[in-house]
Amino acid sequence: MSEAPWFLIVMGWADFEVEERYFMQICTCKVAFDVASELHSHDCNYRLKYMKEAIRNPVNTRYDLLDVDFIDLLAKIAHYGAETYGEGNWMLSRLIKDKGPINHIYKHLRSFRKQIPYDHSELGEGIEIHLAAIAFNAMMEFYWVMKEKENESSG
């Protein structure tokens, strides 16, 4: 028996007995799809009958480790900005100097360290909101740094 093709391994079907002729025929996407479809039917029946829990490939990005309250604050800041300045305003052009994200990061860090209430009461006055504002401004700067890299590599 030949080594199982990549798509069988990725789909978790490489452990099933598959006739040699299928491996020899895999030369086009259609043949690969036909084999995968046939195996999928067998695989689902096998798993339903003998397996006790679902199997799934892990995602290497761990969204489950992010704090949902922090993400919620980021979304509220984004909503406030969209309502105040327009949808996606910060993506229209790079803000610099006193309006730039780096300047605002320092402002929010200073306010947080001095225990100054957040400056947009619509979102609340807790000092922890400054931390989310720092992150949002860092995201804005990140966006423009990546956009410049993209422009350099394509231009």
Answer yes or no: do 79 and 12 share one domain.
Answer: no
Average confidence (pLDDT) over 122-144 = 96
Q: CA angle, 71 as apex, 65 and 74 as ends, to 5°?
A: 150
Tell me how many helices (H) and strands (E) the chain has: 6, 0
Asked whether residue 56 is domain-assigned, the answer is no
Q: Is the pLDDT of residue 81 over 60?
A: yes
Q: Please give the Cα distance from 43 to 121 (Å, whole number).
A: 56
Phi, psi of 120 (to 5 degrees): -120, 90
Answer yes or no: do 88 and 43 share one domain.
Answer: no
Answer yes or no: do 78 and 19 share one domain.
Answer: no
Q: What is the DSSP-derived secondary structure letter of residue 118? A: P
Do residues 139 and 91 make contact, with C-beta atoms less than 8 angstroms apart?
Answer: no
Looking at every residue in the chain, the average pLDDT score rounds to 79
Task: Flag whether the pTM goes above 0.85.
Answer: no
Name, of 11-20, 55-64, 143-152, the range with top average pLDDT: 143-152
Asked whether residue 58 is domain-assigned, the answer is no
Asked whether residue 1 is domain-assigned, the answer is no
Answer yes or no: do 32 and 98 share one domain.
Answer: no
Look at residues 96, 88, 100, 94 and name the one whose alpha carbon lies nearest to residue 144: 94
Number of structural domains (the chain) is: 2
